[in-house]
Amino acid sequence: MAAMVLAATRLLRGSGSWGRSRLRFGDPAYRRFSSGGAYPNIPLSSPLPGVPKPVFATVDGQEKFETKVTTLDNGLRVASQNKFGQFCTVGILINSGSRYEAKYLSGIAHFLEKLAFSSTDRFDSKDEILLTLEKHGGICDCQTSRDTTMYAVSADSKGLDTVVGLLADVVLHPRLTDEEIEMTRMAVQFELEDLNMRPDPEPLLTEMIHEAAYRENTVGLHRFCPVENIGTIDRDVLHSYLRNYYTPDRMVLAGVGVEHAQLVECARKYLLGTRPAWGTGAAVHVDRSVAQYTGGIVKLERDMSNVSLGPTPFPELTHIMIGLESCSFLDGDFIPFAVLNMMMGGGGSFSAGGPGKGMFTRLYLNVLNRHHWMYNATSYHHSYEDTGLLCIHASADPRQVREMVEIITREFVLMAGTVDVVELERAKTQLMSMLMMNLEARPVIFEDVGRQVLATRSRKLPHELCALIRDVKPEDIKRVASKMLRGKPAVAALGDLSELPAYEHVQTALASRDGRLPRTYRLFR
């Protein structure tokens, strides 16, 4: 007990090593900090005197690891982007998708997506493929869109040769057995049922707005396999399509996190002079149609009162999507349209986010903040090689559909009005930050490299895109919006449509100065 008291007394008096330390650094009670009285008159925006100047990492204005592109003798392009790290993402992108199915049964691309990474000439089953990738810590995926099919693998960079060989086999030598096709029919059937039952109608509305905007042509063709075609698509139909669209001149082998010379060597080894499973006949039925924007309306009456049952069921909503033709991603106006889309922004009526979630975009400030009864107002921009579509999705109670449509048409008309410099700068900054944040991820860089090289045979680097975004001025937004408003609208409607205005009234509202729908009078209610 006496020893403890003695130790405590020494600590309080500052004896021993602690006391010497106190003499060296000063009493804690009187120590001066930068936020205290030591620098009383220096603002936080100025550097402190006596502090060494920091040295930051710098670049010479150009990205040191530019995208390299090599074209092989058969027309296949090889593109790579160096990136430090143990893993790489490699894949084959093909100029193939639902837009090219005009002369075929609709739904082939959907089938091919589900059949990807199944048995091939070298691998007897999907399990064997996954076990091979597992040795290199790899995962695989296949995605199809309206104009692109993408087979991708992420794995250890040391397994590059194995990965490229596996991709070549999956793309060019699939077995497409009867059992696999039957399993794919079941998977497609399930996906269609899920699409029609899910509470979130956005995928279905996107399908409908494309169908309305490009009636029975190119990007307006069904992305998902129609129910009536599920039992009709077989191995012969798939081979007929693959023979025309899975050709080397329509492919890009893209890699991120790999050495370009090594990727080119693997491409020559596995993708040059290879005979595909469907033979080497010349492509004769390649669809080179240019998208024809038609405008129009697609309606789907449906009871939405029971989409989400339970103790707190989702309210019954009617969903409307209104779109206008914008431009292709090869057009000079693509960047102004991307900024305009960011400026419109929007989202759900509830958001746990702040400014970074778009709470200061027009659809939040002018629509969701002012009209509490609207559940959603979101802007989307779909862009393709020869066309584009800017649309706004809104949802509300079925009794307020007419008012909701008028609010959206008014926002479209206001796009061609005065653009505040502050909101424009905010939209540009947000677009650049989203671009740079997305390009932090290796798979996103891979997709960006592949898609750009597939479409343009080269790649614009992020700093080039940011420079184009910074150059957008208020008059650019006004010009592209005015041009867009001169076209016919495309309308997709889902749910209880008893209060939906006529298509001609929507068209009249978009052509007016204030965006208001024509007044209607009813003798009987």
Tell me how many helices (H) and strands (E) the chain has: 17, 12
pLDDT tier at 313, thresholds 50, 70, 90? confident
Among the ranges given (85-99, 277-291, 326-340, 424-438), the one the predictor scored with the smallest mean pLDDT: 277-291
Of 254, 271, 288, which marks where a domain is finished?
Answer: 271
Mean pLDDT of 224-239: 96
pLDDT at 41: 82
- In a domain, residue 38? The reply is no
pLDDT at 523 over 60: no
Q: Please give the residue that has the higher pLDDT: either 199 or 23.
A: 199
pLDDT at 378: 95
The rounded distance, in Å, linking the Cα atoms of 432 and 428 is 6
The strand pairing partners of 490, in sequence order, are 296, 323
pLDDT at 347 over 90: no
Q: Please give the residue that has the higher pLDDT: either 310 or 374.
A: 374
pLDDT tier at 520, thresholds 50, 70, 90? confident
CB-based burial, 91-103: b 16+ in 10 Å, e otherwise = bbbbbbbbbbbee
- In a domain, residue 427? The reply is yes
- In a domain, residue 519? The reply is no
pLDDT at 329: 96
pLDDT at 10: 45
For residue 369, what are the domain limits?
Answer: 296-511
pLDDT at 353 over 70: no
DSSP letter assigned to residue 287: -
pLDDT at 284: 79
Note the pLDDT tens digit of each residue in 392-447: 999 999 999 999 999 999 999 999 999 999 999 999 999 999 999 999 999 999 99
- Please tell me whether residues 262 and 327 are part of one structural domain: no
| Phi and psi, residue 500, nearest 5° | -70, 130
pLDDT at 226 over 90: yes
The rounded distance, in Å, linking the Cα atoms of 138 and 507 is 51
pLDDT at 219: 97
Q: Which of 219, 197, 477 is nearest to 341 (CA)?
A: 477
Of 271, 287, 308, which marks where a domain is finished?
Answer: 271
- Please tell me whether residues 507 and 410 are part of one structural domain: yes
Could you tell me whether strands 296-301 and 490-495 are parallel, antiparallel, or unpaired per DSSP bridges? parallel
The strand pairing partners of 200, in sequence order, are none
pLDDT at 39: 62
Q: What is the distance of C-alpha 114 from the center of its chain?
A: 20
Residue 60: what residue type? D
pLDDT tier at 22, thresholds 50, 70, 90? very low
pLDDT at 357: 59
- Please tell me whether residues 95 and 242 are part of one structural domain: yes
pLDDT tier at 30, thresholds 50, 70, 90? very low
pLDDT tier at 20, thresholds 50, 70, 90? very low
Whether the Cβ atoms of residue 315 and residue 399 lie closer than 8 Å to each other: no
- In a domain, residue 52? The reply is no
- Please tell me whether residues 319 and 409 are part of one structural domain: yes
- Please tell me whether residues 211 and 357 are part of one structural domain: no
pLDDT at 23 over 90: no
Mean pLDDT of 124-143: 97
Note the pLDDT tens digit of each residue in 36-61: 556 668 888 888 888 888 776 565 54
- Please tell me whether residues 351 and 255 are part of one structural domain: no
pLDDT at 434: 95
pLDDT at 62 over 60: no
- Please tell me whether residues 242 and 383 are part of one structural domain: no
Among the ranges given (20-34, 50-64, 282-296, 450-464), the one the predictor scored with the smallest mean pLDDT: 20-34
- Please tell me whether residues 249 and 394 are part of one structural domain: no
pLDDT at 11: 39
DSSP H stretches of helix in 80-177: 108-115, 126-134, 160-172
- In a domain, residue 82? The reply is yes
Among the ranges given (8-17, 111-120, 321-330, 501-510), the one the predictor scored with the smallest mean pLDDT: 8-17
Mean pLDDT of 219-239: 96
- Estimate the crossing angle of helix 421-438 against helix 462-470, to 10 degrees: 170
Q: How many domains does the chain have?
A: 2
pLDDT at 305: 85
Mean pLDDT value across the chain: 89
pLDDT tier at 519, thresholds 50, 70, 90? confident
- Please tell me whether residues 259 and 321 are part of one structural domain: no
Torsion sign (Cα): 457, 293, 512, 369? negative
- Please tell me whether residues 190 and 95 are part of one structural domain: yes
pLDDT at 96: 96
Could you give the count of Cα atoms lying within 13 Å of 212 in the half-sphere of its Cβ? Answer: 28
DSSP letter assigned to residue 76: -
- In a domain, residue 451? The reply is yes
pLDDT at 310: 74
pLDDT at 48: 82
Whether the Cβ atoms of residue 375 and residue 393 lie closer than 8 Å to each other: no
- Estimate the crossing angle of helix 462-470 against helix 334-344, to 10 degrees: 70
pLDDT at 17 over 60: no
- Please tell me whether residues 77 and 156 are part of one structural domain: yes
Residue 408: give its domain's CATH number. Answer: 3.30.830.10
pLDDT at 2 over 60: no
pLDDT tier at 5, thresholds 50, 70, 90? very low
Among the ranges given (33-47, 160-174, 319-333), the one the predictor scored with the smallest mean pLDDT: 33-47
The rounded percent of the chain whose pLDDT value lies above 90 is: 77
- Please tell me whether residues 264 and 386 are part of one structural domain: no
pLDDT tier at 215, thresholds 50, 70, 90? very high
- In a domain, residue 146? The reply is yes
Structure tokens at 368: 């969701």
The rounded distance, in Å, linking the Cα atoms of 165 and 123 is 11
- In a domain, residue 35? The reply is no
How many degrees, rounded to 5, is the angle at CA 286 between CA 280 and CA 289? Answer: 165
